[in-house]
Amino acid sequence: MKQKTILTGIRPTGNIHLGHYFGAVKTWKKLQDQDTPFYLEIADVQALTDNFHQPEKVRKNVRELTIDALACGIDPKKTNIFIQSMIPEIAELTVFYSNLVTIARLYRNPTVKAEMKQKKELFGEDGEGITYGFLGYPVSQAADITAFHGTHVPCGDDQIPLLEQCREIVRKFNNIYGNTLVEPEAILSENTRIKGLDGNEKMGKSLGNAIFLSDDEETVTKKIMGAVTDPEKLKKDDPANPDICMVYYYHKLVNQDYVDTVCSECKRGARGCVACKKELIASMLAFLKPIQEKRNYYLEHLEEVDEILKEGTENARKLAKETVQTIKEKMQIHYFE
Ligand code: TRP
């Protein structure tokens, strides 16, 4: 039985919002407390597959994301944070694995297909403008995972097809070159998808319905005051249905102790929406406060952030080098001692 290793990745394309926090980061925090190696990859190379025209955006967000993660309580003593592009071994593995995957299979990947549809301005109406790099990013993700012998991958359900692709590559590699790699398993987050302020099934930066960890009081207030509530409730004392109200939905996330009261008062018509929103704003600001204090600390100590990234990357690279060495031997492309 191989040792358990947890690995996950995140694309540096924007700051962390509540969707990331409750959908992913909260799970990472639990996992980092287990006595298992935990690798967190800042996937800048993957981010470039659909942001190749915006290198400054990806660059800026590598540090921003790291600061957000640290502010949320990701502890560099427990979690090895590293930058993908600084581990050239991942790129090497990607090339080796690319022989084990058909183009047809990549086109059929549901996650790739869905993203292609969302990015018509980049890849064209029918995906005729899709790049080799974007189509192949699942192969690169398989390299991300296997370079560190990742056995468990915390992720959302949108990542399942990518993990399946990785498992296929692992099986094919092991069949041809001999048993070397392990097939990773997903650790699904409790709450994979956090709804947006507008009631959309997904909170997303590009959807304009997100609360960011870095949002200040004024922004949080404005966003929550505009959140979607039960449209049938017209007057303050009308009874309403909390299950379709986003204010109630976020009360459940940040105000667990009090949420039963919110629910019953809302149903009875004993809770006006404005007062309910004001309470949520106060709880949200209290939730964000310690995170923002930590964020500010790291913003003022950028050298510490860089040190964490450098150290994490150096550590991770050692392991990736060993993996590539083994893989080259198996593939018979090792020539000199
Ligand atoms: N594809 C992931 C995302 O879009 C990011 C990612 C890159 C990843 N490498 C990974 C996730 C390895 C899990 C494991 O969010």
Q: What digits encode the pLDDT tens for the residues 55-97? A: 999 999 999 999 999 999 999 999 999 999 999 999 999 999 9
Are the C-beta atoms of residues 10 and 41 closer than 8 Å to each other?
yes
Mutate to test the pocket of ligand 1, among 62, 134, 145, 162 (most ligand atoms within 8 A of CB): 162
What pLDDT shows up at residue 193? 84
Structure tokens at 207: 């959807």
> What number is the average pLDDT over the span 311-336?
98
Architecture of domain 215-296: Orthogonal Bundle (1.10)
User: Separation of 323 CA from ligand 1 center, angstroms?
Assistant: 19
* Ligand 1 nearest atom to the CA of residue 11, by list position: 5
* Ligand 1 nearest atom to the CA of residue 145, by list position: 12
User: Separation of 314 CA from ligand 1 center, angstroms?
Assistant: 20
What pLDDT shows up at residue 1? 53
What pLDDT shows up at residue 2? 67
The closest residue, in CA terms, to atom 6 on ligand 1 is 9
83 DSSP β-pair partners: 42
Tell me 3's DSSP state: P
Q: Where are the domains of the chain?
A: 6-195+302-331, 215-296
Q: At what angle do helices 259-268 and 246-254 cross, to 10 degrees?
A: 160
| Sign of the alpha-carbon torsion through 317, 321, 323, 327 | positive
What pLDDT shows up at residue 310? 98
Q: What digits encode the pLDDT tens for the residues 231-252? A: 999 998 999 999 999 999 999 9
Q: What digits encode the pLDDT tens for the residues 176-220? A: 999 999 999 999 987 778 999 999 999 988 889 999 999 999 999
Q: What digits encode the pLDDT tens for the residues 127-179? A: 899 999 999 999 999 999 999 999 999 998 899 999 999 999 999 999 999 99
Architecture of domain 6-195+302-331: 3-Layer(aba) Sandwich (3.40)
What pLDDT shows up at residue 12? 97
pLDDT at 337 over 80: no
* Ligand 1 nearest atom to the CA of residue 140, by list position: 9
Q: What digits encode the pLDDT tens for the residues 273-294? A: 999 999 999 999 999 999 999 9
Q: How does residue 264 score in pLDDT terms, banded at 50, 70 and 90? A: very high
Mutate to test the pocket of ligand 1, among 85, 115, 159, 170 (most ligand atoms within 8 A of CB): 159
The torsion of the CA quartet 105, 203, 128, 160, rounded to 10 degrees, works out to 0
* Ligand 1 nearest atom to the CA of residue 162, by list position: 1
> What number is the average pLDDT over the span 33-60?
97
Q: Above pLDDT 90, what percent of the chain? A: 91
| Sign of the alpha-carbon torsion through 22, 23, 29, 31 | positive
Q: What digits encode the pLDDT tens for the residues 290-318? A: 999 999 999 999 999 999 999 999 999 99
User: Separation of 280 CA from ligand 1 center, angstroms?
Assistant: 32
Are the C-beta atoms of residues 323 and 89 closer than 8 Å to each other?
yes
Question: Residue 295: helix, strand or coil by DSSP?
Answer: helix
What pLDDT shows up at residue 189? 81
Region of residue 124 (left: phi > 0; alpha: psi -120 to 50; beta: else) = left
Mutate to test the pocket of ligand 1, among 6, 8, 192 (most ligand atoms within 8 A of CB): 8
Pocket residues: Cβ below 6 A from ligand 1? 7-11, 41, 43, 46, 141, 144-145, 153, 155, 159, 162
pLDDT at 49 over 90: yes
User: Separation of 268 CA from ligand 1 center, angstroms?
Assistant: 44
